[in-house]
Amino acid sequence: MLGHTLVVVSDAHLGVAPPAVEGVLLEFLHACPTLGDCLLVNGDLFDFWFTYSRVIPRRGFHVAAALASLRGRMPVVMVGGNHDRWDSRFWESDLGLRFQPLRATFEIGGRKVVAIHGDGLTETRWQAKLIHRLIQHPATAAIYRLLHPEIGFRLVDLLSPALGDHAHDEATLARAADRQLKWAERLLAEEPSVGLVIMSHTHRAVIANLDGGRQYLNPGAWFDGFRYAVATGSAAELCTFR
């Protein structure tokens, strides 16, 4: 069992979000042991994260250091998002976090939890499906790693507005959130032992109480008002920091 009270945060998109988003996140990470006894970072903490064998992004240094410090006080699980899924070796070997690129399964207060970022599961546009498949393919990361880091990161900065998902309108996000809920309901029907499904990606904060006391949770986006969530073996709550 990971713990009794799980703190959940996702979608900070550090690197394109205003500097205050990172500053308050550092305060939040320092305060996490007062909010729960374990932390789930459920994807897209960074707008882009990629590690080489000897290089990590400068933009993420302070947050990575804060996570390393927090790991000494409580378990930290990180699920990869569509912006920061690559290379678990740094998070696991160097920082001691538990990193899962796609799906994490664990128990909180005796309740089985499945955590998934949520990208690639409910997209309807063929462009989004194609981009997701390209990002996921091992060859993409292998080819990108051949670039000098300075060139690679500048290339991402150039392409991010076209390839990212920052500009979806409210109606599009609402439809995506509804599809996520239906996907979570199907997963719960297929896996009766699961009591809580956590997804992110749509930036829409949701708690859905389903049959048998089971729940679906989306903590919302950290960059949107410093949103996070807390979950126990029997309940979940949407929160804002400060």
pLDDT category at 201 given cuts 50, 70, 90 is very high
Average pLDDT over residues 117-132: 74
Question: Tokens in use for 220?
Answer: 């919302």
Which domains are assigned to the chain?
6-240 (3.60.21.10)
The pTM score is 0.92
**Could you give the 3-state DSSP secondary structure of residue 212?**
helix
The DSSP code sequence of 117-180 is --TTTS--SHHHHHHHHHHHSHHHHHHHHTS-HHHHHHHHHHHHHHHS-----HHHHHHHHHHH
* Cα-trace Rg, the chain: 17
**In which order are the strands placed within the sheet that holds 103-108?**
103-108, 111-116, 194-199, 215-218, 206-209
Checking if the pLDDT of 165 tops 60, the result is no
Please state, in angstroms and rounded to a whole number, the distance separating the CA atoms of residues 61 and 57.
Answer: 7
Segment (H or E) for 107: strand 103-108
Please state, in angstroms and rounded to a whole number, the distance separating the CA atoms of residues 205 and 125.
Answer: 23
Checking if the pLDDT of 135 tops 80, the result is no
* pLDDT confidence of residue 124: 64
* pLDDT confidence of residue 148: 92
CA distances from 11 to 89, 110, 112, 194, 212 (A): 21, 27, 23, 24, 29
